[in-house]
Amino acid sequence: MRIALIVSRYHAFITDGLAQGARDALVEAGVEPTAIETFAVPGAYELAQAASRVAGTGRFDGMVCLGCLIRGETPHFDYIAQAAAHGILRAAQAHGIPAGFGLLTTNTAEEAMARSAPGEANKGREAASAVIEMAQLYRGLGAGA
């Protein structure tokens, strides 16, 4: 199984932890470390753009999209969160591969840090586990399903 990790560099102090949690979950599920390819993007808005291109290569059985938005004083947070969520889903549907949604949308940096810390509550870990489960479902359904 080949998995793409698409990781926002913005708020790297959070996304690095999400990416590590995702890698840990994938390896624990039996994915070879060499079968995990990481693609860095500038921010959360670019996650969907990269997801579409990565999925379109046909090289991956799934992709895990990881980023972090921390609410500010303007509605910018809402626009980016919606665009990323809808875009990642569209990319997955258009190309027929599962996408794990690991974009944190928190009110504070402290909330984000709690969700990206090592351990079972790491949201990168959860997103990667969902991708593994969905990739197995897709395989069970067969080609063209």
Q: Mind telling me the catalytic residues?
A: 76
Q: What residue type is 136 in one-letter code? A: Q
**What is the number of other CB atoms lying within 10 angstroms of the CB of residue 107?**
11
Would you list the DSSP string of 32-73?
Answer: -GGGEEEEEESSTHHHHHHHHHHHHTS--SEEEEEEEEE--S
The rounded distance, in Å, linking the Cα atoms of 80 and 69 is 8
Rg of the chain over all Cα atoms, to the nearest angstrom: 14
The rounded distance, in Å, linking the Cα atoms of 66 and 138 is 22
In this structure, what token pair is assigned to residue 106? 């928190």
